[in-house]
Amino acid sequence: MSDNSLNNLPGGFKGMSHDMGSDQTAFKGVQWGKVMMWIFLLSDTFIFSCFLISYMKGRASTVVDWPNTSEVFSLHVGDVPVPLLLIAIMTFVLITSSGTMALAVKYGYEKNRKMCGWLILATAIGGLTFVGMQVFEWSKLIHEGVRPWENPFGAKQFGSFFFMITGFHGTHVSIGVIFLFIYARKVFRGDFDTGKRGFFTTMKSDYVAIEILGLYWHFVDLVWVFIFAFFYLW
């Protein structure tokens, strides 16, 4: 590939037709694991889209008033109900963790082991905080009588969409947190500097794994952007 290094290839759409028609690797300069993660995220996009579209269909076709999310998800500070307070805090926590993850990827590629490890740990703790607040939100709503088949606020479909969508997203966050802790340990141990071979694979560890983990984490944040907009704000 020496005379074919990325900088010498055409860019833009010309580059795309060149890459696709090169009878070689189509995704040049992209490690295969990263392509696989992207394809997985694309399929996950479709799953979340199906949830949100069915929510749209359910909400648009009910003849009963939809619960006012602004009130349902309000928290009392003292005696004053603040609309959507918990959800706003959750959003900021998740964005914060997305930022620390982006920096972890950067420091990983710079082979700055300590910074990378601490930032991944910070990301994991952010994710854990998010899941904790979600547990609080779920138990609060369950206490108030929200069930998948009924709720005291309005249209019955509200509960099933709420538990399904936020539950599926929360599962993604939880899985991400587990992987973040595993990778924080691997980074601190120096696996990615020494090229230690992994538990499930004979291939050498590389900091590109941190970017792949980052892709997953940013995707979780990305999904939350849509859930926040459509489910909580709309």
Partner 1 sequence: MDETQNKEEGTTHKIGIYLWIWGLLFVLSFFSYMVDWFAFQGFLRWTLILIFMFLKAGLIMAFFMHLYWERYALVNVLLWPMTAIVGFIVLMAAEAKYTVFTRLLYFFIGG
Q: Is 81 in the site for partner 1 (CB under 8 A)?
A: no
Taking CB under 8 A as the binding criterion, the range among 55-63, 161-169, 173-181, 188-196 that sits at the site for partner 1 is 55-63
218 contacts 102 by C-beta, under 8 angstroms = yes
Q: Is 36 in the site for partner 1 (CB under 8 A)?
A: no
Phi, psi (rounded to 5 degrees) for 75? -120, 150
DSSP 77: E
**Residue list 151-170, contact with partner 1 (CB under 8 A):** none
Cite the DSSP H helix spans in 25-156: 32-61, 69-72, 85-109, 113-143
With residue 82 as reference, give the H or E element that holds it: strand 80-82
Q: Which residue, 185 or 194, is less far from partner 1 as judged by CB?
A: 194
Q: Which residue, 185 or 234, is less far from partner 1 as judged by CB?
A: 234
Select the residue interacting with partner 1 from 32, 36, 47, 56 (CB under 8 A).
Answer: 56
Taking CB under 8 A as the binding criterion, the range among 27-35, 124-132, 146-154, 193-201 that sits at the site for partner 1 is 27-35
The pair of three-digit structure tokens given for residue 168, joined into one six-digit string? 């599926």
User: Which residue in 139, 202, 184, 144 sits closest to 166, CA to CA?
Assistant: 139
Select the residue interacting with partner 1 from 35, 75, 131, 182 (CB under 8 A).
Answer: 35
Largest CA distance in the chain: 70
Select the residue interacting with partner 1 from 51, 67, 72, 84 (CB under 8 A).
Answer: 84
With residue 57 as reference, give the H or E element that holds it: helix 32-61
How many helical (H) and strand (E) elements, i.e. helices and strands, does the chain have?
8, 2
Q: Residue 15 Cβ, how far from partner 1 at the closest point, in Å?
A: 6
120 contacts 102 by C-beta, under 8 angstroms = no
> Which residues bind to partner 1, rule: CB under 8 A?
1-2, 4-7, 9, 11-13, 15-16, 19-20, 26-31, 35, 38, 42, 45-46, 49-50, 53-54, 56-57, 60-63, 70, 83-84, 88, 91-92, 95, 98-99, 101-103, 105-106, 109-110, 208, 211, 214-215, 218-219, 221-222, 225-226, 228-229, 232-234
